[in-house]
Amino acid sequence: MARLYREQALGYRTQHAELVERTRAAGPLLPGTPGSLVERSASGRAYWYRVYSAVPGGRPVEDYVCKASDVDALEAMRARIDFAQWCEREVSLLRKLGYQAADKKSARVLVELHNRGLFEAGLVLVGTLAFAAWLNELGAVIPAPARTLDIDLARADRLALAAPVPLLESLRKTTLPFQPVPAFPSRAPSTSMKLPGSEGLRVDLLAPGRTLGEAIPAPDLEWAAQGVPFYDYLLAGAERGAALAGGQCIPVRLPRAGRFVCHKLFASTRRSGLRDKAVKDRGQALVLGAVLAESFPSELAQAFDDAPKAMIDPVRTLLPLLEEQSSDHPELVSELRSGLGRAPRGRRGRPVS
């Protein structure tokens, strides 16, 4: 088997880290393209507007900035546009270097959620976009981009919001025509929203649940979440991260990388009749697991230690396959054998010799 990833050069990792740090300090981000400033006159008075493209293929949008006489507000917007242009250049360069970046529609959604304070309040980005964000954070390059048509969001509990923030309304604020996906049975609440067409972007809200697919009320978002077993484990200790999308870097919240690996391995055992998705889950787990085993082994070891027995037990049967698929990463093979082995476990859950 070939190696599952390669390391980014230190200089590029530093460049990505600077982009993330500056974005976190920037506050609300400008939606859409950076745009430009245009002066308009009406009733004998002059005003400044920001003209930009909100979504790919959409008509130009004009947002009021200030009166022509408000120099401070005008300069503040100029600085925000300059910063957005710098981010756009940085993201474009990083993408060429092998960093993972989602598309512009995903960027528009993530920016809206960030600007409404949802990630800061506890909303977590999971799924393939979280996998891509961790690859970027850890400086790992894989042969092909991690593509997805889904934005998977999760909440472990009520978000720390002063008042509910309607999720569907937030997505429609992007000007993208999101519609609820009908649930089955039809009387059940929807847990997903989607853009038209077979290739339309889909947004799913997930939460811890005993039964896969059960609807979990999310009154803080005026929506419902789809229950997923052991998501309480996955979401515990979620931390700050960043996602690249379109020409933007968006602060988000991510599951801990080690727990992401363990839960992806579990998820791959629950894809009955969905072989491609099971292969994708295992692939993401092994790539991220290899990075952790070689650079941050304690993170992966602790994730295995903390994993519920009922979650890990179904994964044990995969050990021979996982060993074969990660044979070029002996550190990962060792961690998998320790985490999935059947040996008696010590005080912290590690096998004892």
Condensed to tens digits (0 to 9), the pLDDT of residues 240-263 reads: 999 999 999 999 999 999 999 999
Beta strands in the chain (DSSP E): 6-7, 36-42, 45-53, 60-67, 124-126, 140-141, 150-154, 179-180, 192-194, 202-208, 215-218, 223-228, 239-245, 248-254
What H or E segment, with its residue span, contains residue 94? Answer: helix 71-96
Q: Where are the domains of the chain?
A: 7-255, 256-353
> Is pLDDT at 121 greater than 70 in this prediction?
yes
Tens of pLDDT, residue by residue over 182-197, are: 987 778 899 999 999 9
How buried is 259 (Cβ within 10 angstroms: 0-12 exposed, 13-18 middle, 19+ buried)?
Answer: buried
pLDDT at 352 over 60: no
- Which residues share a beta bridge with 204? 152, 192
Distance CA 37, CA 77 (A): 9
Eight-class DSSP state of 31: P
Could you report the per-residue pLDDT of 196-210, keeping only the tens digit for each? 998 899 999 999 999
Please report the pLDDT score of residue 344 as a whole number.
38
Asked if 230 contacts 311 with a C-beta cutoff of 8 angstroms, the reply is: yes
pLDDT in tens, 26-82: 999 999 999 999 999 988 999 999 999 999 888 999 999 999 999 999 999 999 999
Q: How confident is the model at residue 225 (pLDDT cuts 50, 70, 90)?
A: very high
Q: 353 or 333, which is more confident?
A: 333
pLDDT at 342 over 60: no
> 14-18, 55-59, 86-90, 349-353 — which is least confidently predicted?
349-353
117: left (phi over 0), alpha (psi -120 to 50) or beta: left
Mean residue pLDDT across the chain: 94
Q: What's the average model confidence in pLDDT over 123-130?
A: 98
Q: What is the pLDDT of residue 346?
A: 42
Share of the chain above pLDDT 90, in %: 88
Q: Give the pLDDT of residue 1.
A: 66
Q: Is the predicted pLDDT of residue 345 greater than 50, yes or no?
A: no
Query: What is the pLDDT at residue 198?
Result: 84
Name the percent of the chain lying above pLDDT 70: 96
The predicted pLDDT at position 142 comes to 96
Helices (H), 116-192: 127-138, 167-172
Judged against a pLDDT cut of 50, whether residue 150 lies above it is answered with yes
Q: Mean per-residue pLDDT for 177-182? A: 95
- Which one has a higher pLDDT value, 116 or 55? 116
* Residue with tokens 């933007």, as numbered in its chain: 248
pLDDT for 349 beyond 50: no
Tokens 């599951």 — which residue?
255
pLDDT of 178 over the 90 cut: yes
Give the per-residue pLDDT at 347. 35
What pLDDT sits at residue 187? 82
Q: What is the CA radius of gyration of the chain?
A: 22
Structure tokens at 22: 């500056």
